[in-house]
Amino acid sequence: MIRYIAGRLLLILPVLFGVSIVAFMLIRLIPGNPAVAILGERATPELIARVQNQLGLNLPMWRQYLHFLGNAWRGEFGLSFFYGEDASILTLQRIPVTLVLIGYAALIGLIIAVPVATVAAVRRETLVDHIIRLVFTATIGIPSFWLGIVLALLLSVRVRLFALGGAGSGGFDTLWHLTLPALTIALHISPILVRALRSSLIEVMDSEYVTTGLAMGLRPATLLVSYLLRNGLTPFISVLGLNIGWLIGGTIIIEQVFGIPGVGSLLITSILTRDYSIVQFVTLVLAFLVILVNLLTDLAYAALDPRVSFQR
C-alpha cells in the first residue's frame, strides 16, 4: 500500500513537468502578449517594445522556459505582469475560496443526489422513478451561467435569501455568499451524480447478499448503512473523482458570473491578459489538485471495497 502510494506520488513529477511545458507553450502561442494587454487601447509599438523588454519577453522560448524552471525549483514563480505581485502569492490567496466553493458544491450535489437517487433506485420503474430521471436528464442541457443568473434573480433579488457576488468576509458570511454559486454548480453536476448513484444502488440492491441478508432478518437500517450505501457509493465515488476536472471547469464560469475572487476567474483573466506567470502557476496548482483527487479517489475506492487490490 505504501509502495503504491509512493509510486503514484512519484508519477506526479513527470505529469507536472508535462503540464508546465504545455501551459508554457500554449499561452505563448496565443497572439498578443502581456505588453499589449497591459497597455490596452493606448498601446503604441514603441511602448509595447519597451514593456516587452522590461518583462524579458524577447528571449527565445526555450531560454524563457529554462528561466522558469530554474526559478520554479527555488519556489519562485515570477511576478504577475498585470498586478505587479508575486504570482504564487496571488494564486495561493485565492485557492481557499475556490476550494470552499468546490467542496460546498460537491456537498450540495451529494445532498441532492443521495435522497433523489435512493428514491429512484428503491422505487425503480415506477412513475416516481421515471419523473426523477426525466427531470434530471432534462437538467443536463441547461447552460450553467444561465442557471446561475436565474437562481440569482429568484433567490437574491426577488426573494432576498442569499447574498450575491463576491465571497463575503469569512466564516458564515462566505457560506452565505457562496450558496448561490455552489447551488448552481451542484445542480449542473447533479444529473450525472444521480444517474451514477442510482445505477450503482440498483446493482447492489439486486445482489444476492442483500436479499439473503434481508431473508436472514437483517434490519433495513443496518442494511442501508453497512451494505447498500457502502457498496453503492464505491462506483459513485469514482464517478465523482473522474469528474473533478469537469467540476473545476464548471467552477470557472460560475466564478466569472458571480464575481468570486477564486482561482478559476484568475486563470481565465490571466489567459485573456496573457499574464504568463499566473497561468503557469495556476495550471500547476490545478494539475496537482486533480492528480491528488484521482489518487484519493482510488484510495477511497480501495478502502471501501476490499476486493480491489493494488496490483496492476
Partner 1 sequence: MSTAAAVVPARPVRRGWLAPAGPSLWVGMIGILTIAVLAALAPLIAPYDPTALALGKGLTPPSAAHWFGTDQLGRDILTRVLYAARIDLQIGTIGVLIPLVMGAVIGLFAGYYAGWPDALLGRVIDVVTAFPFLVLVLAIVAMLGPGLRNFYIAISLVSWVAYARIVRGEALSVRGRGYILAARSLGFGDLRIMFRHLLPNVIVPALVFGMSDFVLDILAGASLGFFGLGVQPPTPEWGVMIAEGRNFIITAPWVVIFPGVAIIVTSFFVSLIGDNVSDLVRRVRAA
Partner 2 sequence: MRLHGTVLRVVSCVAAVALAAPIAFVSPRSSAGAAAATLTMARNADMLTWDPYHTGDDPSIFTQMAVYDRLVKLAPSNKDVEPELATSWTMSSDGLTATFTLRPGVKFSDGSPLTADDVVLSLTRAIDQKGDWGFLFSPVKSVTKVDDRTVAIHMSEPFAPLLAALSTFAASIYSKAQFDKYGQDMAQHPLGTGAFVLDSWQKGSTITLVRNPAYWQTGKPKIDRVIMRVVGDDNTRVLQLQSGQVDLIDFVPPNQVEQVRGAGLKVYAVNGTAVLRYTLNETVKPLDEVNVRAALAFAVDREAVAKNVYFGLATVARSLLPSTTLYYDPNADPMTYDLAKAKAFLAKSSVPGGFTLTAQLPAGNQTYLDAATIWGNGLKQIGVTLKIDRLETTTLIQMRNAEHYTVYNAAWTNDTPDPDELMGVAMDIKSQHAAHTFYNNQEAQQLVAQARRELDPRKRQALYTRLQRIESRDAPQIYIVDVPRLYASLPSVAGFAPNSQGKYEFENVSKR
Q: Does 312 bind partner 2 (CB under 8 A)?
A: no
Q: How far apart are CA 280 and CA 56, in angstroms?
A: 16
Residue 31 engages partner 2 in binding (rule: CB under 8 A): yes
Q: Is 22 in the site for partner 1 (CB under 8 A)?
A: yes
Separation CA 222–CA 134 (nearest Å): 31
Q: Is 138 in the site for partner 2 (CB under 8 A)?
A: no
Residue in 295, 291, 278, 263 with CA at minimum distance from that of residue 102: 263
Least gap, CB of 271 to partner 1 (angstroms) = 6
The C-alpha atoms of residue 206 and residue 213 are separated, in whole angstroms, by 12
Query: In 246-255, which positions are buried (b, 16+ CB within 10 angstroms) versus exposed (e)?
Result: ebbebbbbbb
Least spacing, CB of residue 172 vs partner 2, in Å: 5
In the list partner 1, partner 2, none, the entry touching 249 (Cβ below 5 to 8 angstroms by class) is: partner 1
Q: Which does 29 bind (CB under 5 to 8 A by kind): partner 2, partner 1, none?
A: partner 1
Residue 168 vs 245, nearer CB to partner 2: 168
For residue 139, the minimal CB distance to partner 1 (Å) is 8
Q: Is 57 in the site for partner 1 (CB under 8 A)?
A: no
Question: By CB under 8 A, is residue 13 in contact with partner 1?
Answer: no
Of 154-213, binders to partner 1 (CB under 8 A) are: 192, 199-200, 202-203, 205-206, 210-212
Asked if 217 touches partner 1 (CB under 8 A), the answer is yes
The nearer residue to partner 1, 110 or 192, going by C-beta atoms, is 192
Angle formed by the axes of helices 276-304 and 230-242, to 10°? 160
The four Cα atoms 199, 201, 202, 206 give a dihedral, to 10 degrees, of: 140
Contact call for residues 253 and 144 (beta carbons, < 8 A): yes
Closest distance of CB 215 from partner 1, Å = 4
Find cell 444521480 and name the residue: 194
Measured distance CA(99)–CA(247) in Å, rounded? 11
Spell out a b/e string for 88-110, using b for 16 or more CB atoms within 10 Å of the CB, else e: bebbeebbebbebbbebbbebbb
Residues binding partner 1 (CB under 8 A): 11, 14-15, 18-19, 22-23, 26-27, 29-31, 124-125, 134, 137-146, 149-150, 153, 192, 199-200, 202-203, 205-206, 210-212, 214-215, 217, 245-246, 248-249, 252-253, 256, 264, 267-268, 271-272, 283, 286-287, 290-291
